[in-house]
């Protein structure tokens, strides 16, 4: 028996069979099966808990009554009410400059002088020419008187002689001399007038060599220096730029074409400039121009606002941002403008997918927002309010808006109602 037992043991070792191995294998299989059942039960419990209804949480704001101010924002630059460019009609060398930047000047005050040496020499020459022309007039008059007297004598002799003397030829020659003398006198008189005009033009140029201020104002720009040559061959060069009155200025802003329909003359505005960040200046619209300007595809219309600058804080050329008050609504029913951009998400129903479906993840699903029914008119909109924790659509008619608050003209909205503006998360 012992030999047989040893033989069987050797055969089992040779075959790789260990006594009791089958029992241990079956035990492992049962343990794996039990572990798998536990995991499945956990997945089922998790799916059951996650398959419940999803509660959406909403961000709301109350509808309330208040005042609404509608503003149109535009940018532009400050300019003087009346700006004058002072130039020179004559050429020459600048002899002196008698006004500088920021100087306050009066009407007819001398700003600069241009050297007139050449013009004065020309004036002397033209005066001599005028005197010569006047002398020729005297000479022509003397000749006229002489020919006239001779003609009268011949005519007297002819009458006494009964037409026998002088001869017709002699009489005609005297008549022609008299006519030529009259023409010479007229020509001499014309030469005098021409000489007088040339002299007057030169004297005018001499007067224009002194540059005067045409207005009461302040010097903004001075473009010349003493000794500089002024050339006025084709157009008058600008020597000075004057502002008439800086206590009253204009703000020229460009209003977008989408807003120009609301902007009208007489509306009030406030503006600020970078130089005074802590100050707000008042203005009033005095003109809305019909001419348009297109820059980078944007169409704008120039609008002029009157500005009081008594303290001279503002300066020409400053860039300003203006808020024009185009509408005021008092005691209006207001809701947040964000409420009109809100659409509640669609509640997704849970469907049974079976055991395998619970274990294996499916493709992702997205909630499609529910689109509110909105009238084609821009005034007919829909807002959502909370009733018993659920969003309910309410059709309304809207009025003015400042992009933050919007006026409700009609609809089932009352002050204190919670209007939905957004979702803030979900709860389970």
Are 252 and 303 a contacting pair, CB within 8 Å?
A: yes
pLDDT of residue 315: 94
- CA 56, CA 346: separation in Å to the nearest integer? 10
- Please say if the pLDDT value at position 364 is more than 90: no
* Digit-coded pLDDT (tens) for 238-252: 999 999 989 999 999
* Digit-coded pLDDT (tens) for 54-107: 567 888 889 999 999 999 999 999 999 999 999 999 999 999 999 999 999 999
- Please say if the pLDDT value at position 346 is more than 70: no
DSSP string, 102-166: T-EE-TT-EEEEE--HHHHHHHHHHHHHHHHHHHHHHHHHHHHHHHHHHHHHHHHHHHHTTT-SS
pLDDT of residue 164: 84
* Digit-coded pLDDT (tens) for 239-295: 999 999 899 999 999 999 999 999 999 999 999 999 999 999 999 999 999 999 999
Task: Give the count of beta carbons closer than 10 Å to the beta carbon of residue 116.
Answer: 21
pLDDT of residue 375: 46
Task: Give the count of beta carbons closer than 10 Å to the beta carbon of residue 112.
Answer: 24
Spatial CA neighbour of 381 closest among 419, 416, 339: 339
- CA 263, CA 255: separation in Å to the nearest integer? 8
Are 254 and 293 a contacting pair, CB within 8 Å?
A: yes
pLDDT of residue 322: 97
Residue partners of 308: CB distance under 8 A and separation at least 6: 247, 248, 282
Across residues 205-219, what is the average pLDDT?
Answer: 94
pLDDT of residue 356: 47
**What is the token pair recorded at 156?**
């007297």
- Please say if the pLDDT value at position 371 is more than 50: no
- CA 36, CA 359: separation in Å to the nearest integer? 12
- Least confidently predicted of 48-52, 95-99, 308-312: 48-52
- Please say if the pLDDT value at position 182 is more than 60: yes
- CA 286, CA 79: separation in Å to the nearest integer? 14
Q: Residue 26 — pLDDT band, cuts 50, 70, 90?
A: confident
Q: Residue 120 — pLDDT band, cuts 50, 70, 90?
A: very high
Across residues 339-350, what is the average pLDDT?
Answer: 72
Are 211 and 86 a contacting pair, CB within 8 Å?
A: yes
Q: Residue 376 — pLDDT band, cuts 50, 70, 90?
A: very low
Q: Residue 374 — pLDDT band, cuts 50, 70, 90?
A: very low
pLDDT of residue 427: 53
């Amino acid at each position: 028996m012992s030999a047989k037992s040893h033989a069987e043991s050797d055969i089992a070792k040779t075959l790789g069979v260990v006594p009791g191995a089958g029992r241990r294998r079956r035990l492992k299989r049962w343990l794996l099966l039990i572990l798998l059942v536990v995991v499945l039960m956990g997945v089922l419990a998790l799916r059951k808990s996650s398959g419940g209804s999803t509660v959406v949480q909403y961000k709301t704001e109350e509808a309330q009554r208040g005042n609404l101010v509608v503003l149109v924002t535009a940018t532009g630059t400050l300019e003087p009410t009346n700006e004058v460019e002072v130039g020179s009609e004559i050429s020459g060398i600048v002899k002196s400059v008698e006004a500088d930047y920021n100087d306050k000047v009066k009407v007819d005050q001398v700003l600069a002088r241009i050297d007139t040496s050449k013009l004065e020499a020309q004036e002397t020459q033209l005066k001599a020419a005028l005197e010569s022309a006047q002398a020729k007039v005297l000479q022509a008059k003397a000749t006229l008187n002489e020919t006239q007297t001779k003609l009268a004598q011949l005519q007297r002799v002819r009458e006494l002689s009964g037409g026998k003397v002088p001869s017709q030829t002699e009489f005609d020659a005297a008549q022609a001399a008299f006519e030529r003398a009259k023409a010479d006198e007229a020509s001499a008189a014309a030469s005098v007038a021409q000489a007088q005009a040339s002299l007057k033009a030169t004297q005018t140029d001499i007067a224009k060599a002194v540059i005067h201020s045409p207005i009461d104002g302040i010097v903004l720009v001075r473009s010349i220096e003493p000794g500089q040559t002024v050339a006025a061959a084709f157009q008058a060069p600008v020597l000075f730029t004057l502002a008439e009155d800086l206590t009253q200025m204009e703000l020229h802003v460009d209003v977008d074409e989408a807003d120009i329909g609301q902007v009208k003359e007489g509306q009030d505005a406030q503006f600020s400039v970078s130089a005074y960040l802590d100050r707000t200046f008042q203005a009033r619209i005095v003109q809305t121009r019909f001419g348009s300007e297109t820059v980078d595809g944007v169409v704008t219309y120039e609008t002029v606002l009157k500005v009081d600058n008594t303290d001279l804080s503002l300066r020409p050329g400053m860039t300003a941002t203006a808020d024009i008050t185009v509408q005021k609504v008092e005691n209006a029913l207001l809701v947040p403008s964000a409420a009109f951009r809100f659409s509640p998400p669609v509640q997704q129903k849970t469907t049974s997918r079976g055991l395998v479906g619970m274990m294996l993840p499916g493709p992702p699903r997205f909630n499609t927002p529910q689109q509110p029914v909105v009238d084609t008119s821009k005034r007919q909109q829909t807002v959502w309010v909370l009733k018993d924790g659920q969003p309910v659509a309410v059709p309304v008619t809207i009025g003015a808006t400042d992009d933050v608050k919007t006026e409700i003209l009609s609809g089932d909205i009352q002050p204190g109602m919670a209007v939905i503006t957004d979702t803030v998360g979900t709860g389970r």
